Chain A
Amino acid sequence: MNGIVKEPYVYSSPGEPHRPRKVIRPVRPLFGSVPDDLSLLARYFGLFRAMTATRLKLRYRQSLLGWLWAVLQPLALMLVYVAVFSRVAGYDAAPSPYPLFVMAGLLPWSFCSTATTTAAGGMLSYQTLMAKVYFPREIVPLSYVAAALFDFLIAFVLLLAMMLFCGLPLSPQAIFAAPIMAIFTVIITALCLLLSAMQVRIRDINIVLPLVLQVLMFTTPVVYPGTAVPEGFRAVYWANPLAILIDDFRLAVLDGAAPNAGGLLYCAFAGGAFFLLAYGAFKRLEAKIVDEM
C-alpha cells in the first residue's frame, strides 16, 4: 500500500455541459455589459430575496412595536407638521383636511428618506461579508430599497384607512399611484446606488444625509400644495422629478386626478437615464469597494 493516489482526474468528455467563462480584468469597460450584469443579478435573485426578508424579519422580530413602526414614523411626523404648518403658517389645503394632505405627501418622502439613509449605511455593515464572498454588490442597497418599499406599502394601507375615516372617497383614478410609484422607486434606487458607492470612500455622507434630506424635503410639495410655489421659482422647482411625482401621487390618491402625461414621461425618461448612469457608476466602482474598506 503506497498511500493516497493524487493524480488529477483528467478526462475529456464530449457530452460535457457548457461551462460559463469569465475573464477578470483590471478595469471594467466603460459601457460594461449591462445584459451580463442583469443576468448575474437574476441568478442572485434568491440572495436579494433572502436579504430583504432578513432585513424585515430582524426589524420586526427584535422590536416590541414591530409592524407598528412602519406606521408610527410617518404618523408622528405628520402630527408635527400639522401642528407647525396648519396652526402656525396657516395653510389650508381644501378640499382634503390638512393632516391627510401632509400624510399623503409624507408617504413617498418617507420612503425616499428611509431608503437612502439605510442604504448608505448598509454597505458598511456588510463590509466583512463582502470581503469574504462574491455576490453582485448592488444587492445590498437594493434590499434596503425593497425593505423601505415594504414599509411604504404598510403606511399606504394606513392612509387608505384614514381616508375612509374622514369620509373621503377613493376614485378609480387612484390606480395611477402605481406607475407613479414605480418611476419614483427607480429614481430612489438610482440615488441609493450612487450614495452607497460614494459612502464607502467618503464616510461623511452617512452623517450629512439626514440633515440634507430634512432641507430637501422642502423642495418637494410634501407640506405645502404645488400651487404655493412662487412664480419665479417654478421652472427650477418643477425640473425636479421627485417634486412632480410626489405632487402627482397626492393628487391621484386624494383628489382622484389623473397625472399629466407629459410630466410623467419626463420623470420616466429622467429617472431611467439617471438609473443607467448610477448603475454604471456603481458597477465601475464595485471592484474597489473592498479595497477601500
Chain B
Amino acid sequence: MIDVQVRNVSKCFNVPAHGDTSRRLFGFLPRRQTFWALRDVSFEIRRGETLGIVGPNGSGKTTLIRLLSGITAPTTGEIEINGRLASLVEVGAGFQPDLTGRENIFLNGAILGMRYREIARKLPAIVDFAEINEFLDVPVKRYSSGMFVRLGFAIAAHLSADILLLDEVLAVGDVAFQARCFERIEALRREGKTVLLVSHDLAAVERVCSRALLLSAGRIMLEGDPSEVIGAYHAASFARSTEEALGPVVTRGLTFDTADGGPVRTGASLRCCLSYEARETLVDVVVRVSLIWPSGYLCTELSSGQGLRLERGLGEVEFDCSMLTMQRGIYSADVCIERRGDILERRPRCGLLRVGAGRIVQGDFYLAHSTRVRSFSLEVSG
C-alpha cells in the first residue's frame, strides 16, 4: 500500500536578479532568474515505512517537505497522499511569548491540525509528557529554552496523523531530548505509522530508517538501503571538496580500518590512514583527525604531536590505535594540518568512521579491562 507517491515533480522559483535596483526605479520589472529547486523527482513511500532523505544544504530537501505539506505547489508533476499528513518542521511553531503555556498548547495544537476537542482531551497527557505542571499558566516567555522545546515536542508527540514528516527537528535540544525523540519515532514505527525523516544526522537516519534517498542539486541521486546511501553521500561530498584545493598541503583521502582486517568495531584495533599531497617539504607540522559525534560535539581526536615532517609529493599519515574504545555509531571526521599555530589545511566533515558492535557495553565509551575472580572460601568448622 502506497501512502505517498511523488510523480515527476519539479519546482522552480523565480528569483529577482541581484543588483538590478536601478532598473526597478525606472519602471522596468526586475529581471527574474529561474532557479530549479527540484528536477523531475519521483519516489514513493509505502505504508508503515520510515524513509530518510539526506543530502547537502540546498539540495531541495526543504522544498520537498513544503511540497508534501501543501505549503507550495509543484511547477510540474503530481503528488498523491493517502492519509492524514502532519509535518513537524519546527518545535513550537507559532508559540506566542505573551500567552500562557495552556493557551499556547491550544494554539500550537490547532496550528498542527488538531481539533479543539482533541487538544482538550489530550491536555493532561501533554502536560505530563512535557513536565511543566507548575508552569502551565505562566507566560511562555518565562520558560527556559529546555522547557520550551519539551512543550513543543510534547504537543507534536500527541499528533494523531497517518503520515509524519520530520525536518531536522532532531537537531534541536540536548542529548536527553534527542533520546526522547528517537523513542517517539520508534513508537510511531511500531504503531505502523509512515514517517519521512529529513536530517543531517546520518547516524539517526541509519538507525531509524528502513530506506533512504539521496538528494543532490534537486535530483534523486540514489535510493535504497540507508547504509549504502549514506556511504555514497559521504563519498560524493568528499570528492566535491577535493576540487577546491589550495595551500601547501592537500588531503587526498581518509580511511579507517583494523589491523587484523575485520570490521571496525568497539574493542578492536583501529588504523587511520590520511593520504596527502604536499607541494613542498613541511617540517614541524601537527596533523589532527577529530572524531565528532552525530550531534556535532567533539568526541576525541587523533593527534600526531609536534614535529612531524611531511615530504614533498604524495604521502600517508597513519595513526595506530591498539584498542578502539568508542561506542558503536557513525562519527564524522575533521582533518586539520597546522604548523606552529598556522593552519595549512583544514577539511571539516571529510570522512566517516563507522564503528560496528564489538565489545558490547553500556555508556559513552569502552574501557579496556579484564576480569578476575577471587574467592574466599568459608571454613565451616565441623
Contact A133-B89, Cβ < 8 Å, known A10-B46, A11-B192, A20-B84: yes
Tell me whether B338 is interfacial, beta carbon within 8 Å. no
Kindly identify which residue among A9, A44, A46, A287 contacts B192, using a CB–CB cutoff of 8 Å: A9
Tell me whether A174 is interfacial, beta carbon within 8 Å. no
Tell me whether A291 is interfacial, beta carbon within 8 Å. yes
Provide the bound-state CA to CA distance between A21 and B67, in Å: 15
Provide the bound-state CA to CA distance between A132 and B13, in Å: 17
Tell me whether B147 is interfacial, beta carbon within 8 Å. no
CB-CB under 8 A from A11, the residues of chain B are 48, 192
Within 8 A of A (CB), among B182-216: 186, 189-190, 192, 207-211
Tell me whether B36 is interfacial, beta carbon within 8 Å. no
Tell me whether A49 is interfacial, beta carbon within 8 Å. yes
- Assess the B48–A10 pair: CB atoms within 8 A: yes
Tell me whether B173 is interfacial, beta carbon within 8 Å. no
Binary contact readout B76-114 vs A (1 if CB under 8 angstroms, 0 otherwise) = 111111111101011001101011000100110111111
Tell me whether A61 is interfacial, beta carbon within 8 Å. yes
- Assess the B210–A50 pair: CB atoms within 8 A: no
Contact A54-B107, Cβ < 8 Å, known A12-B1, A24-B79, A46-B114: yes
Tell me whether B345 is interfacial, beta carbon within 8 Å. no
**Smallest Cβ-Cβ distance to A28: which chain B residue:** B73
- Assess the A134–B210 pair: CB atoms within 8 A: no
Q: Which of A6, A8, A25, A288 has the most CB of B within 10 A?
A: A8
**Smallest Cβ-Cβ distance to A13: which chain B residue:** B192
- Assess the A27–B115 pair: CB atoms within 8 A: no
Contact A134-B76, Cβ < 8 Å, known A6-B209, A57-B99: no
- Assess the B116–A49 pair: CB atoms within 8 A: yes
- Assess the A25–B112 pair: CB atoms within 8 A: no
Tell me whether B291 is interfacial, beta carbon within 8 Å. no
Contact A135-B113, Cβ < 8 Å, known A9-B192, A19-B82: yes
- Assess the A24–B50 pair: CB atoms within 8 A: no
- Assess the A58–B99 pair: CB atoms within 8 A: yes
Tell me whether B316 is interfacial, beta carbon within 8 Å. no
**Smallest Cβ-Cβ distance to A21: which chain B residue:** B82
Contact A7-B210, Cβ < 8 Å, known A46-B110, A47-B111, A50-B110: yes
Provide the bound-state CA to CA distance between A81 and B364, in Å: 75
- Assess the B78–A24 pair: CB atoms within 8 A: yes
Q: Which of A43, A47, A54, A133 has the most CB of B within 10 A?
A: A133
- Assess the B96–A54 pair: CB atoms within 8 A: yes
Binary contact readout B56-70 vs A (1 if CB under 8 angstroms, 0 otherwise) = 000000000011111
Tell me whether A62 is interfacial, beta carbon within 8 Å. yes
Tell me whether A164 is interfacial, beta carbon within 8 Å. no
Tell me whether A87 is interfacial, beta carbon within 8 Å. no
Binary contact readout B158-184 vs A (1 if CB under 8 angstroms, 0 otherwise) = 000010000000000000000000000
CB-CB under 8 A from B360, the residues of chain A are 1
**Smallest Cβ-Cβ distance to A55: which chain B residue:** B96
Tell me whether A182 is interfacial, beta carbon within 8 Å. no
Contact A46-B116, Cβ < 8 Å, known A4-B207, A132-B90: yes
Binary contact readout B233-259 vs A (1 if CB under 8 angstroms, 0 otherwise) = 000000000000000000000000000
**Smallest Cβ-Cβ distance to B5: which chain A residue:** A23
Kindly identify which residue among B81, B93, B190 contacts A21, using a CB–CB cutoff of 8 Å: B81
Q: State the Cβ distance, B229 to closest chain A Cβ, in Å.
A: 13
CB-CB under 8 A from A130, the residues of chain B are 71
Within 8 A of A (CB), among B286-334: none
Provide the bound-state CA to CA distance between A134 and B74, in Å: 15
**Smallest Cβ-Cβ distance to B328: which chain A residue:** A3
Kindly identify which residue among A10, A25, A53, A132 contacts B74, using a CB–CB cutoff of 8 Å: A25
CB-CB under 8 A from A20, the residues of chain B are 82-84
Q: State the Cβ distance, A230 to closest chain B Cβ, in Å.
A: 38
Kindly identify which residue among B74, B190, B357 contacts A3, using a CB–CB cutoff of 8 Å: B357
- Assess the B69–A47 pair: CB atoms within 8 A: no
Within 8 A of B (CB), among A234-264: none
- Assess the B162–A19 pair: CB atoms within 8 A: yes
- Assess the B80–A290 pair: CB atoms within 8 A: no
Within 8 A of B (CB), among A268-293: 287-288, 290-291
**Smallest Cβ-Cβ distance to A48: which chain B residue:** B110
Within 8 A of B (CB), among A37-77: 43-47, 49-51, 53-54, 57-58, 61-62
- Assess the A132–B50 pair: CB atoms within 8 A: no
Q: State the Cβ distance, A236 to closest chain B Cβ, in Å.
A: 32
- Assess the A134–B78 pair: CB atoms within 8 A: no
- Assess the A8–B49 pair: CB atoms within 8 A: yes
Tell me whether B119 is interfacial, beta carbon within 8 Å. yes
CB-CB under 8 A from B113, the residues of chain A are 43-44, 135
Kindly identify which residue among B111, B119, B357 contacts A129, using a CB–CB cutoff of 8 Å: B111
- Assess the A287–B162 pair: CB atoms within 8 A: no
Provide the bound-state CA to CA distance between A104 and B190, in Å: 63
- Assess the B74–A54 pair: CB atoms within 8 A: no
Q: State the Cβ distance, A292 to closest chain B Cβ, in Å.
A: 9
Give 5 A-B contacts (CB < 8 Å), ordered by A residue.
A7-B210, A21-B82, A44-B110, A49-B116, A54-B99
Given contacts A10-B47, A23-B78, 7 further A-B contacts (CB under 8 A): A3-B357, A6-B209, A26-B74, A26-B77, A50-B107, A54-B96, A290-B72
A-B residue pairs, 4 tightest by C-beta: A287-B73, A8-B49, A46-B116, A47-B110
Residues of A within 8 A of B (CB): 1, 3-4, 6-12, 19-28, 43-47, 49-51, 53-54, 57-58, 61-62, 129-135, 287-288, 290-291
